[in-house]
Amino acid sequence: MKNIFTLFLFTLSSSVFAQKDCEYSANVTDSLGVYKMTTEYLISEKNFAGKSEYIFCSLITNNGFPALNVQLIQKSKEFLSAKCFDKNSKLYLQLQNGKIVTLLHLDKESCGSLIRNDQGYDNRVSTGTFMFLKGTFEDLKSSPVNLMRIKFLTGTDDYIVKKEITSEMNQKIYYPENYFINYLKCIE
């Protein structure tokens, strides 16, 4: 009986701590090289007073150059202020171990696009690509993320990174604090 219980605990712990499989929305190898992009993953979701804001991340490698793609989606019936990315934009990740990891935005300005849907909502979709600095992979693979701060051209916003999110948008369960621990292996 003791052996069965021990086997059960081992199986449970290995499934809980196992890294996730890599899923790609793009995986291309051609004469120009190798390009991979993981599927988008929900990192933050805010729904309050008729306004919604979602942050999705995907990891990219372009011929061995790793980057983080960040997609910010805003939805409201009221005015949506633009959150623009520019050459001075940065993404800061505060880890549970106290370290802060900084990612730098590519030198490209983007304020996204505004789309009005049939229900009268304005939707703004902004995308930014951030470069990992040397030595940050090991920090991100060793500790969960608590907080994400994005410095936009137009201001700075903080996002609490939760252990678990059940998305109101699609009812899927996400584990954003362990995103880098689980998925950085997909672009190494």
pLDDT in tens, 100-122: 999 999 988 999 898 888 888 89
User: The pTM is what?
Assistant: 0.85
Domain encompassing residue 153: 22-187
Query: d(Cα 25, Cα 187) in Å, to the nearest integer?
Result: 13
Count the domains in the chain: 1
**Length reported for the chain:** 188
At residue 17 the predicted structure's pLDDT band, cuts being 50, 70 and 90, is: very low
Q: What is the mean pLDDT of the chain?
A: 88
Nearest to 93 by CA among 47, 54, 143: 143
- Indicate whether 173 belongs to any domain: yes
pLDDT for the residue numbered 37: 96
